[in-house]
Structure 1
């Protein structure tokens, strides 16, 4: 018998016909625990064929105890016995460990996928241990003092740049009153070790000399590429401080970020292709959350499709693409992140991701896309897209009226309604990944503000964007079709649409009510017979209007 499951990063098959050796069993368990957890099927061949468990491994109670005794720290596993066509299989459930686990003989292993897609256990090397501990928020690599580094490795010119950034970006003003030594200490650019002030990784990254960055943090490399079709316009790489790199890349970005001018009555607005604040936040996030123990570089790519920013190191433990907007803010490099916030270069609340999403949502553009991210890197893609003029006008009017920015949750819900046209609380929650309670509360506020209209009551209550948005876009059919069909009869809907746009045709009724042409004609004739509509034009392309 073959199992339907296949081997993967979280599924492992082990043959036990000749009794799997204790070392091989423990190695596999440790590999699962140090990666993503999973299940080990004991008594199954690599092909998925069930061959049965050896009698020495059939006691699942003693097997769990054996695993705990042979791992450091002891792993708690759950063993289950299942029978397939008369053959017993032991399923060992292994949770992902919140620390580094080793075998009792001192081996530290992890799992990875080979080029053919099958898994294997491999040693975890020292730099990978550092990376793993950072992922688990058990080690802040950026806060570590750098052995052999001295204050001479810090660049006075970069420190002047840092002070200017604090002034320009309205960082903590009190930092400007400190001496250089006090500033370094306050931002943890240096730490005292045996009476000496030693630069930290953060210090080298922010204000280190170029040769010192190459020496002590050789992974601090950044590249920017600008492509037009297949033609390479810009292709540069840097080994320099984060502060000077951000400044350099922003200059290129501004040169290749055209704007669209839009008039809203007396208001004229320039809408850039990519939101500048969102780009700054995304770039700083890449430096802030990258894994500096891994080889690789922060890469910025601007091409015909859009903007891509990648950085080495996947999402930190507990953060996924689905919960990216709602996960509790925590980073891989807390000391570096804190310094960037305090000098005003990063969003101070730690919710820079909100700014990245708002930069697209406010203009009615597609959501930022993180789907190409892997366990080894984070990949952000922002597509080129024309702004939705009527959507922008509606949001701009609201912000002018309230004097406040629209929260990202509200923007997500408005964007969802723009796509769904008409939706229930549950549908919006599924679309936005927000809880139904939060969606309900936010929709209530949006209804009060006039940005959203509510139709129906109870479980049949639905929501749609303000009728003003549809009128501004000359989409009367789109608006009326969203109104409460359960509450209004078909005839009343036809009259409502006719009144909305001045006249109505058979094809309008087909589109509005999703009926066939014969049914549409019958409904229109009934309204004419009742004197509620008059025929404006006869024939196949007949038009009807209000009497």
Structure 2
């Protein structure tokens, strides 16, 4: 039995015709060619996925949204366009549906395109990428290679470092220490060759081997690969220069870089105090959350980008900026459910250590979220910013602002607006007032009568005997 074609209201039809074309949405009239559809679909797949509606004209074709519906008389008219997407190689993950509306003539085709792990191209071998509302061609071979690194289709960890001799990896102090601890590995040369840390063709070290086992990777690696730790003694979003108190760079083989970086983060945080309902206390985060997010940044970053991992510590948060977008089919929304590794050799190499920093493969970020919740703190925030992934670990209580205020008043006689904002993370003075007013209307707090203006404060209402 044929599947019924969904019918949308005139309001929804007009909304589709009025939707602004952007990074994730495009629409074209039914006259678009298969080549034109391939161009847009490939561009979406090479970026972050998107939606293409065929049968609704774009703004250039018709300025009036009410006149943009340009449906086909029969859904089968779109078969050639669908086939043009099916024939793409590498293939693109997509779904489609037909829609109709009683107030508009004809059917439209709606394509939902997934983000691809591979670098996709049209039938004429042109690579497109979505940038804003445009599908732009990439013709420069270096830029296409960079796109492959960014998507995880290729990994920089497999790049030969031709300028180095194999001894840089197989005879380093780090390799000797690792072999001695591992015990089950017969010798460093066979291990390095079998695990793909040295090329079997010409014995050139590969990037993964240099990062893991060279005694000083940063001195010989083609791109920057250290960790920069910064501390700003402020809570401001845009700190000023005088707030900068610490600016250090940590290098060394990845195993030691991970341990040294986390140790330094812990030392810096031990000197920071924050306001809690119990009063001023030393700042503390779940150590497992910091560990997992820092390890995740170091093993999954894009080493083709010549920049260091940046760990920026503030009074009320830690920001970790890692070079490289999320690889493969991983997105901000499915990051806890989808597993993908840009650098599988590095992941496997670190797991070989006696005290592996990535012991529970695939569970790291889930552990970070679980521990933040266990500590009654809000979960980490993930953002893609250009070619970087930013993770923010905030010292914000999981409790509601009302709960935080009442908890504070259990240990203090009164609370001022500025103190409450610091406690709850609310930035607006007026929004904080709304919290006070809601508690007042529930008969839980009252304004201190003798304190007005900037000195105004609130206190719990004492129950009468």
* TM-score category, normalised to shorter length: 0.5 to 0.7
Report the equivalent of 1:341.
351
The correspondence for 1:29, drawn from 25, 29, 41, is: 41
Instruction: Give the drift of 1:254.
Output: 3.7
Alignment partner, residue 308 of structure 2: 297
Structure 1 or 2, whichever has the larger Rg, is 1
| Structure 2 residue 187 is the aligned partner of structure 1 residue 179 | yes
- In the TM superposition, residue 279 of structure 1 has moved relative to its aligned partner by 2.9
1:62 correspondence with 2:75? no
Q: What is the aligned partner in structure 2 of residue 353 from structure 1?
A: 365
1:213-261 deviations in Å (ceiling 9; x for gaps): 5665414243221111342122244675434533553453243121899
Matched residue, 1:397: none
Alignment correspondent of 1:218: 223
User: Residue 218 of structure 2 contacts residue 226 of structure 2 at CA under 8 Å; is this kept in 1?
Assistant: no
Alpha-carbon distance in 1 for matches of 2:306, 2:32:
37
Residue 125 of structure 2 corresponds to 106
After superposition, the Cα gap between the structure-2 partners of 1:292 and 1:72, relative to the gap in structure 1 and judged at 3 Å, is same
- Structure 1 residue 306, shift from structure 2 partner: 1.9
Q: 1:65 to 1:131 in 2, by over 3 A?
A: same
Q: Tell me the SS of whatever aligns to 1:197.
A: coil
Within 5 Å, which residues of 2 pair with 1:52-451?
A: 52-53=69-70, 59-68=77-86, 71-73=88-90, 78=96, 80=98, 82=100, 86=104, 88=106, 90-96=108-114, 97=116, 99-113=118-132, 118-123=133-138, 126=141, 129=144, 138-147=153-162, 149-154=164-169, 159-161=172-174, 164=177, 172-175=182-185, 178-185=186-193, 188-193=196-201, 196-208=202-214, 210=216, 213=218, 216-229=221-234, 230=240, 231-237=243-249, 241-246=253-258, 248-258=260-270, 273-325=284-336, 327=337, 329-343=339-353, 344-350=355-361, 351-357=363-369, 359-362=371-374, 364-374=375-385, 376-384=387-395
RMSD (CA atoms): 4.4
Which residue does 1:13 correspond to in 2? 27
CA offset at residue 296 of structure 1? 3.7
CA distance 1:248–1:126, change in 2 (3 Å): farther
* 1:63/1:79 contact within 8 Å kept: no
Structure 2 distance, partners of 1:163, 1:276, is 30
Cα offset for 1:313? Answer: 2.2
| Alpha-carbon distance, 1:162 to partner | 5.3
TM-score by length of 1: 0.56
Measure, in 2, the Cα distance between the counterparts of 1:420 and 1:163: 54
Q: Which structure 1 segments of 5+ residues have no match?
A: 262-269, 387-414, 422-469, 475-510, 517-539
Contact map agreement 2:228 2:310 (CA 8 A) in 1: yes
Are the counterparts in 1 of residues 39 and 135 from structure 2 also a CA contact under 8 Å? no
Following superposition, the deviation at residue 357 of structure 1 comes to: 3.6
Q: 1:187 to 1:353 in 2, by over 3 A?
A: farther
Give the Å deviation of 1:38: 2.0
Residue 283 of structure 1: CA displacement? 1.9
1:144-202 C-alpha deviation (Å, 9 max, x unpaired): 5445543144485xx424555788xxx74534xx4332443465432422xx4331221
How far apart are residue 339 of structure 1 and its match?
A: 0.9
Larger RCO, structure (CA 8 Å, separation 6 or more): 2
Deviation digits for residues 270-311 of structure 1 (CA, Å, limit 9, x no counterpart): 987244454333222111011223344311111212222121
On the 8 A contact 1:342/1:348 being kept in 2, the answer is: no
User: What is the rounded CA distance, in whole Å, between the counterparts of 1:541 and 1:286 in structure 2?
Assistant: 52
* 1:308 to 1:77, Cα distance in 2 relative to 1, 3 A: closer
Corresponding residue of 2:54? 41
Q: Give aligned pairs, total.
A: 376
Question: Could you report, residue by residue, the CA deviation over 1:310-342 in whole angstroms, capped at 9, with x for unpaired residues?
Answer: 2122333444445444x2544221110111121
- The runs of 5 or more residues in structure 2 that have no matched partner are 1-13, 235-239, 274-280, 412-438, 445-461
SS in structure 1 at match of 2:292 = helix
Distance 1:129 1:85 in 2: 45
Deviations 1:502-531 (A, max 9, x none): xxxxxxxxx9xx899xxxxxxxxxxxxxxx
TM (norm. structure 2) is: 0.65
2:383 match: secondary structure: coil
Tell me which residue corresponds to 2:68. Answer: 51
Contact 2:227 2:249 survives alignment (8 Å): yes
- CA displacement, residues 358-403 of structure 1 (integer Å, 9 cap, x when unaligned): 55444x24134124345733222222369xxxxxxxxxxxxxxxxx
Alpha-carbon distance change, 221 to 80 in structure 1, aligned in 2, over 3 angstroms: same
2: CA distance between counterparts of 1:186 and 1:63?
47
